[in-house]
């Protein structure tokens, strides 16, 4: 009589063991499907953000029109990429590569002694807030100053962080 009881337990044990991988595969497939759905939604949000930033950039092009009046006092002359030497241009490319996503186009102004100032505005996570990245480069293309200024929606400076 003890033999059939042992066989029944062993038989149940084998059933439980053989059934476990199928159940595990189902759970694993469910988790993978959830991960895939999450990745797809993240990609969709990222794409929507890129489209909105492209639209904002296209809308901002109107502010660079020729009809806009020239600056009359306390203006630093604007400089274009053509005025940069090779070392400064290399520094500018590195600066733009490191900027956060959604940054506005970089503005280049002249600094004393042949240096340049690169500045970009990046919208913040809080609507209306922003951060301004400002990098000063000398005539040899060496970074002399790099500052991030954070501004709240009311226009008040929250934080100034020297990054160099």
Residue range 72-110, pLDDT digits in tens: 445 555 667 788 888 999 999 999 999 998 899 999 998
In this predicted model, what pLDDT tens digit does every residue of 59-80 receive, in sequence order?
Answer: 555 444 444 444 444 555 566 7
Decide: 152 and 125 in contact? Cβ < 8 Å. no
Q: Which residues pair with 78 in a beta bridge?
A: 109
The average pLDDT across 133-150 equals 92
> Dihedral sign, CA of 68, 134, 125, 160?
negative
Instruction: Give the pLDDT score at 61.
Output: 53
| H or E element at residue 54 | helix 2-60
pTM higher than 0.75: no
Burial class (CB in 10 A: 0-12, 13-18, 19+), 85: middle
Please report the beta strands in the chain, taking only residues with DSSP state E, as ranges in sequence order: 107-110, 116-123, 130-137, 143-151, 157-162
Instruction: Quote the distance between the C-alpha of residue 49 and its chain's center.
Output: 11
Q: Which of 1-10, 76-85, 138-147 has the lowest mean pLDDT?
A: 1-10
Half-sphere exposure at residue 1, Cβ-oriented, CA atoms within 13 angstroms: 0
pLDDT > 70 fraction of the chain, expressed in percent and rounded: 66
Mean pLDDT of the chain: 76
| H or E element at residue 28 | helix 2-60
Instruction: Give the pLDDT score at 152.
Output: 92
The average pLDDT across 8-16 equals 46
The residue that leads in pLDDT, 137 or 3, is 137
């Amino acid at each position: 009589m003890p033999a059939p009881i042992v066989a029944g337990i062993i038989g149940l044990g084998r059933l439980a063991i053989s059934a476990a991988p199928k159940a595990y595969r189902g759970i694993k497939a469910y988790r993978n499907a959830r991960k895939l759905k999450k990745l797809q939604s993240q990609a969709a949000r990222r794409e929507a953000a890129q489209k909105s930033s492209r639209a904002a950039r296209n809308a901002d092009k109107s502010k660079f029109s020729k009809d806009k009046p020239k600056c009359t006092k306390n203006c630093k002359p604007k400089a274009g990429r053509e005025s940069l030497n090779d070392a400064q241009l290399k520094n500018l490319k590195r600066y733009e590569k490191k900027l956060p996503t959604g940054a506005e186009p970089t503005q280049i102004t002249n600094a004393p002694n042949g240096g340049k100032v690169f500045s970009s505005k990046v919208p913040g996570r809080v609507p209306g807030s922003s951060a301004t990245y400002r990098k000063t480069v000398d005539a040899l293309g060496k970074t002399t100053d790099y500052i991030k200024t954070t501004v709240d929606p009311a226009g008040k400076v929250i934080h100034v962080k020297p990054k160099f």
